[in-house]
Amino acid sequence: MSPPGTPPDHASGPPSLSTPSAASGWRGTLPLLAWRATASLAAPLLPFWLSRRARRGKEDPDRLRERRGEGAERPPGPLLWLHGASVGESQSALPLIEALAAARPALRFLVTTGTVTAARLLAERLPPALAGRVQHRFVPLDVPAHVARFLDGWRPDAAVFIESEIWPNLILATAERGVPMALVNARLSARSAQGWARMPSVARRLFGAFRLVIAQTEADAERLRALGAERAEAWGNLKFAAHPLPAPEQALAGLKAAIGTRPVLLAASTHPGEEVQVAQAHARLSGDLPGLLTILAPRHPERGAALARELAGHALALRSSGALPGPDTALYIADTLGELGLFYRVAGAALIGGSLVPHGGQNPLEAARLGCPILLGPHTGNFTAIVERMLAAGAALRVADSGALAEAALLVLTEADRARSMTTAAARIAADAGALPERLATAIETLLPASPPLGGGVGVEPA
């Protein structure tokens, strides 16, 4: 979360904030006015920028008009708009959408994202029962005219922003239309908070625009309160409540058949510098574990070809080429998107990527939900609270380097009782996070009309 009329507070229930009036949104805040003017002046150049991104696969060339706020197809009845920038945010919204859909059968959903990958995975993982109630659009660029076109077309009854998407024109234009807004699963690093603190009036306008602010941790909530979200609370991380990652039956059967009875070590969502260390651990282990297969699943699959060159001294295969691991394959580079659910299901132990290098670690609960024993490097600052619980409960093992990784992997892959105790403890921790979507849904419901509007209100289709 980095810097770039007034609805009443609820007398009881979830924490809430007063939203600013339309007049207070921009007036007297020079940086906001400057951003608004700069975005408007830049608008004529943005189509060229979008076209360039489309050529690089960063935008859908057939849907660029959505980035200008076009293409609204508002359904009748109450509409909730949820925005999550990328894959993690949009995927964490799925359990929340399911909880809200169950509580409000007439409610429809508009989900916006900023990346092509997030759009694709949302379509793939949206439960079939909800497909008719959920529409996806790419979020408009933060240009006043684009934002106005988007809001005028969709007319949401309430809006939910997930994690750290703070776009001034989008936020304030939504508030000016009287649309109640929530910021959920909010996170704000100390560094970002310092940046916002240098613009206190801007921070108050933007963070004070949200009626409901729910942070991941108490530290996040404290920083948000200092910046204007005066009643922000910490309820936990919505990503901890996600469903188990999927695995198509046919693909899983094919992978299992190719692997057979070989022991499998997975390095999941790895970052540069980790794969070499994992390959070194594999070399150490191969004498004690004949037939060991190590699967490398880079966080950014486009790195697959470069990894193949970097690890050329090993017998390897690339999944992106259509290859399955053969009997002699030592390293299997899983350079495809959205298939981690497959690899967790076939692995006997998994190193959670981003933790052997100073990145902060990826989500360990993805492995926990699929019964895969968890190994963690020393850098897990992105998931401090959950990692501390796991280590204390014996649900994960900490490793410092490739040598320690080899020792821990050998332990877990050869001692079934130890692996079983780890996965049991991890499953309990994962289950504890399961109630958060329902709790958030109850809070968000207070922002919506009590019943579908009967005419003339915000978000109502004309008769």
Q: What amino acid positions are annotated as catalytic residues?
A: 89
346 close to 312: Cβ distance less than 8 angstroms = no
Burial 341-352, CB ≥16 within 10 A → b, else e: bbbbbbbbbbbb
340 close to 398: Cβ distance less than 8 angstroms = no
DSSP state at residue 372: -
CA–CA dist 416, 2 (Å, integer): 45
Give burial (CB, 10 Å; 0-12/13-18/19+) of 191: exposed
82 close to 93: Cβ distance less than 8 angstroms = yes
182 close to 206: Cβ distance less than 8 angstroms = no
92 close to 121: Cβ distance less than 8 angstroms = no
User: Cα–Cα distances in Å, from 171 out to 36, 109, 192, 235, 460?
Assistant: 12, 18, 18, 23, 21
Assign 369 to helix, strand or coil: helix
Bridge partner list, 158: 80
DSSP structure string for 132-177: GGEEEEEPPPS-HHHHHHHHHHH--SEEEEESS---HHHHHHHHHT
